[in-house]
Every structure is written in C-alpha cells, then in structure tokens.
Amino acid sequence: MTTAASPRYTGKRHRLAKPELLAPAGNLEKLKFAVHYGADAVYIGGQKYGLRSGAGNFTFEEMKEGVEFAARYGAKVFVATNIYAHNEDIAGLEDYLRHLQEAGIAAIIAADPVIIETAQRVAPKLEVHLSTQQSTLNWQAVKFWKDEGLPRVVLAREVSLEEIAQIKANVDIEIEAFIHGAMCSSFSGRCVLSNHFTDRDSNRGGCSQSCRWKYDIFEEDKPMFGTEEDKFTMGSKDLCMLADIPDLIEAGIDSFKIEGRMKSVHYVATVVNAYRQAIDSYMADPEHYELKQEWLDDINKAANRPLNSGFFYDTPGPEDHIYEPEEKPAPYDFAGVVLSYDASTGLAVVQQRNHFKPGQEVEFFGPKGTFFKQIVGPITDEKGILLEAARHPLQTIVFKTDYAVQPMDMMRKRVRL
C-alpha cells in the first residue's frame, strides 16, 4: 500500500493540485497516441533548434495537425527549442518562433537566453519554459527566471524532492520535473563526449550516447581487462517514479515529464497509460490510494533498461549505473494496433507492427480499460485470404478477439528468451 504519507519523502507537503502529465512525441503518430492514452500535454521538436535531431520531428503543417488533435482532448503542445545556439544558428530564429506561434503551439522549452529573449519579443503568445539544460538547482535561480518573465522552470534532474519542496515554498512558479526515462551521465545533458568522439554536438541535437558505449581500462597501452564481457559502460539506469506518485504530487511538482522522443509508439502509450492511472487514482482518493502491481508490470513491459529513482531521494551510487552487460527487462514486443472492431462478428482489424501468427499468446491494452490476453486464432488479410503469419510491417490483419477492442488499442506479444 502506498499512501499520501509515503515514508520516503519527509519534507514539507504542499497543496493537492493535479499535476500535468507531459509526454514525449517524436512524430505525429506518437503525439496522437500520447494524447489518446492520457497525456495532458506533449513536447515535440521542429526542424530546427531542438536537441533530438534524430527524432522524426515536425514540419509546421504537422504541428498544426498535432495542435488540432490535442485540442480535441483538451491537451497542449510544446516545442523544444533547447539548443545552445552558435552564431550561425541565429539566422531565421525570429521567423521560426513566429511560425510556432501561428501553428498554435502553447509553449517553447528553451535554455539559451537569446532564444528566450527573442521569443518574448517576437512571439509573445508563446509561453517560454526554461529547459533542464540550464541545470537549475536552487530557488534563487528559479526566482531569477521568474523575474525574467518565465512561468515555468524545468528543473535539473539532479534536484531532490526536498529541494523541490523548498523551491515551491519560496517561489510561486510552475515546476516541471522529469519523472520517467533515460538519465544522462553528465550534468543534466551538458556533455561533450559525443563532440570529441564523433564530432556530433550534444548541445545542438547530435548526441551519439557515448556513455552507452563499452569501454576498457588501459595502463601504459596494455588493456587491464581481457574479454568482451569485462568491458563496461558509463550509462545510468533509467528513471521510474511510478511507485512514488504521492510524494511527487505532495512535493508540489506541477508537471510530470516523461523522457523519450526517440522511443517507440508502444513505449510512449504504455508509460503514459500507467502514470495516467496512478495519478488519477491518487487524486480521486489520496487516503486509500494503492499502487497497483499491473501498473508496474506494464512499465516493465516497455522498459529499455533497469530502473531507479534518480536523485529524488538520494545521490545515485554504483548500484544505479550500468557497468556490466545489462539485462533487458522488457520481454515484450509491440505487435499491432487496432484500427477497427465489428461487435456483430467479434472481428478486429489490426495493423501489424511486429511478426505474429496463429497459436501465439498476445495481450491487448488501451486507455479506456481494455486489458486481456488471448491466443491468436485464424488470421486473414483485409481481402479475407487466410494467412500463416502476419509477416509484413503495417500489414492489415483481421481476426477474432476474445473481448471487444477499440481503435488505437494496442496488441503486444511476449518475446521468447
């Protein structure tokens, strides 16, 4: 049982205000799934000025479509403009920010003062949220940015819950904090390993994740380790605060941010769905809130790395890093997404996302309560031709489901280890 008086956090408790659930969206499809599965807001990247140049990213037309879709659910869209700009990056900045405002974007996430000042000057309808790249750790720094006209600060990942509560006690401003996803081995993303090793600038969107590579130790050009298994990484375990939702809410965090614009549609939908249920359950009845095992199970079905609680309760130690070859905690693959369902026949039309075939056990889940397992029976293509397996990406497959499903429900399968 997890209650409002969770013993892990003993600091000052604040108002019970329902936090925003903020999800990543690397492309338009991910945006739609994030919102459909319960995100109150999503953050995306445009074609310039963002730190995920490898994500699908959005054109202005896609932004407009995303904003319109989100608005139907009462959700907002933010755009990451969080690079540290060099001289050559400044050309075109004013026009870019004006286009974001015209597209209906609610806010930008920025770190560079020139981007912040320019947005305030040329696109005043855009809120400016301070990026975690500014490594903001204390309430005086937060107050500085409030005095500069910013309504929200995204804190550094290295801030504890005790420090967050102190910030909220001293500054009346929205606080956003990462509560799930990858952690950077450097200080809130301020890394230059990628620059030196690959000539890809981490702070202009080109990080090659050098901390995840395998390393060896040498002494006078002689390797100290002899086998591939002995090599180590510098990577951190991923952050997961699902078990600590009461503490996060009562510390006064206004926006719960999930990392992962490069992650899959399945990852985004699964993680958002789990946090949405936990937040809503706690807010409905804090005194009798109970952390459900199925929420944790779902997170583990989408996890890419082992999980921990980051800096929220203490400083991470060796046990919070991945030095040895990591065990994959997610033995599930995203197998398909429901396109439609005919209640009179029990037939579901599913778009294939990974190979599956009759006789396999699959699991359906969705944001409106869909959750069941079944063995796949006979499958056909959309013309009714019987198939031995669903082999082709995005192939339309038709088969009976044991229970009713809805469009945008997902189907996954257990991976044979």
pLDDT of res. 196: 72
pLDDT of res. 83: 87
Residue 25 corresponds to which tokens in the numbers above?
A: 């969206």
Q: What is the CA radius of gyration of the chain?
A: 22
Strands, DSSP E only, in 7-119? 20-24, 41-45, 76-81, 107-110
* All structural domains of the chain: 20-189+235-322 (3.20.20.70), 332-414 (2.40.30.10)
In angstroms, the CA 288 to CA 4 distance is 8
- Model pTM? 0.89
pLDDT of res. 255: 98
In angstroms, the CA 328 to CA 290 distance is 27
pLDDT of res. 309: 85
The candidate with the shortest Cα–Cα distance to 276, out of 74, 18, 17, 16, is 18
Tell me the residue type at 347.
L
In angstroms, the CA 6 to CA 1 distance is 9
pLDDT of res. 4: 41
Tell me if residue 90 falls in helix, strand or coil. Answer: coil
Q: Render the burial of 20-54: b for 16+ CB within 10 Å, e for the rest.
A: bbbbbbbbbebbbbbbbbbbbbbbbbbeebbbbbe
Task: Identify the residue whose tokens are 């070859």.
Answer: 325
Could you tell me if 164 and 251 are in contact, meaning their C-beta atoms sit under 8 angstroms apart?
yes
Contacting residues for 72 by C-beta, under 8 A, at least 6 apart: none
pLDDT of res. 316: 78
Residue 309 corresponds to which tokens in the numbers above?
A: 């609680």
In angstroms, the CA 176 to CA 82 distance is 15
pLDDT of res. 249: 94
Instruction: Spell out the per-residue pLDDT of the chain, length 417, in tens.
Output: 343 445 576 666 655 689 999 999 999 999 999 999 999 999 999 988 776 555 568 999 999 999 999 999 999 999 999 888 889 889 999 999 999 999 999 999 999 999 999 999 999 999 999 999 899 999 999 999 999 999 999 999 999 999 999 999 999 999 999 999 987 777 666 677 767 777 766 665 567 677 767 777 766 666 555 555 666 667 778 899 999 999 999 999 999 999 988 889 999 999 999 999 999 999 999 999 999 999 999 999 987 777 888 889 988 777 766 666 666 556 789 999 999 999 999 999 999 999 999 999 999 999 999 999 999 999 999 999 999 999 999 999 999 999 999 999 999 998 865
